[in-house]
Amino acid sequence: MNIYLVGINHRTAPVAVREKVAIRIEALGEALELLRAYVPHGVILSTCNRTEVYTLTSEDGGAGAASLNFLQTHLDIPDKTLRRYIYTLEGQAAVEHLFRIACGLDSMIIGEYEVLGQVSQALEAAEKAKMVSLPIRHLFQEAIRTGRRVREETAISKNALSVSSVAVELAAKTIGHLQNCKMLVIGAGEAGRLAAKAAKDRGVSQITVVSRTRARASTLAAQLGGRPITINEMAQELNTCDLVVACAGAPHHLLGVQHIEEVMRHRPKRPMVIIDIAVPRIVAPEVAEIKNVFLYNIDDLTQISEQNRRRRQGEMEKAAKIIAAEMAEFAAWWQTLETRPVISALMKKAEAIRSTQLSKTLKKLRPLSDEERESLEAMTKSIVTKILQEPISYLKENAGSHQELAEIVSKLFSLDGKR
């Protein structure tokens, strides 16, 4: 048994491909139900940078092939296209990969906070779908704990950028400055909040927040002194805005060529900058061909994100050392998985023998008080615990170096029920 990962990310595929396999958080439950038809246990991690499936596989590699089939069949990606962009990792390589993700080292924006929450949400969704086994649960829990430790013990996330703040920085470089600019934020979630805050810090004169409902838009708008509107009211607002940051989750484009062409007819000489950081994208790529419209997507943030990476190189090295130490701990725990069934069976058999023999003995004795019975129970349990303590400790400590050890113990104590 081993951890197996199949995925696609910002290093292996452009956003045009990634958006086809992206799974919105509210759709994770449904996706996990589909995955269940292929593997009994698994976690789907889907962020703006990646979509990955974590499963357990045996020596025949069946679960790995099943994960690939799941991505291909249910996410409508041709096999040749998918195989060109995917990567697969197994064992310690898969463990290290997830640990690096949780620590913010595998993100486009090094040190970003959002990904740790996304890893937690992925585990939570899989737990809710009852798709999590002990090994996968422990893997994700340890990755989350390591992510927190790295952020506490290093400065990897100090003054950390986010995809949203980098998008605003790109907009500022494109326009020249954001002072007195009017901004439209599509999406009232965390990404929208970060984008609006970054823009406000740079001096935008007006922020309008767009969401499916006015109530949701109002919550964010109130925090920033902005104005809330619904998606249905967005067309009119586009006539006067200078900057659009799109970060809402949607299954289709919210802004198409016809929308923007109509807007630009009312402002032919006034440029508009649109940064679409949503995955899947919610602005049609063809909008970039419209005169005086400057459209960017999440992959266009690479230059600024690379500068951020260079600034955090020293902290990345510190984080890597912590990850290495935590991986060693995880590897030691993983080795105990082979002996756990044997240890459990050994303890159950010892308890059964203790209980049976104590019952026989009690029948031969005079009637005992409750206190005396409890004393005998405690004494016999203590004897069993003391006898098994060293063998169990030895099993745990040598699980990895003695592959036949568990089998020998099983035969010695007839734990397989054959004698």
| 283 conformational bin, left if phi > 0, alpha if psi -120 to 50, beta if neither | beta
DSSP category for residue 274: E
The SS3 of residue 90 is strand
255 phi and psi angles, rounded to 5 deg: -125, 115
Sequence-separated (6 or more) residues with CB below 8 Å from residue 232: none
How far apart CA 289 and CA 217 sit, in angstroms, is: 30
The SS3 of residue 190 is helix
- Cα–Cα distances (Å) from 286 to 36, 94, 291, 382, in that order, read 37, 37, 11, 75
Which is it for strands 50-57 and 2-9: parallel, antiparallel or unpaired? antiparallel
Go through the chain and tell me how many residues it has. 419
DSSP category for residue 293: E
Q: 241 catalytic, yes or no? A: no
The SS3 of residue 38 is coil
Sequence-separated (6 or more) residues with CB below 8 Å from residue 193: 164, 220, 223, 224
Q: Residue type at 321?
A: K
How far apart CA 37 and CA 70 sit, in angstroms, is: 9
State the maximum Cα–Cα separation within the chain, in Å, rounded to a whole number.
104
Closest CA to 2 of 69, 62, 83: 62
Check if the beta carbon of residue 254 is closer than 8 Å to that of residue 223.
Answer: no
Closest CA to 176 of 144, 203, 206, 143: 203
User: Can you state the percent helix, strand and coil of the chain, rounding each to 5?
Assistant: 55, 15, 30
DSSP category for residue 256: -
How far apart CA 18 and CA 12 sit, in angstroms, is: 9
Give the H/E segment covering residue 65: helix 62-74
48, 181, 241, 247: the active-site residue: 48
Q: Given strand 50-57, what is the order of strands in its sheet?
A: 42-46, 50-57, 2-9, 87-90
User: Active-site positions?
Assistant: 48
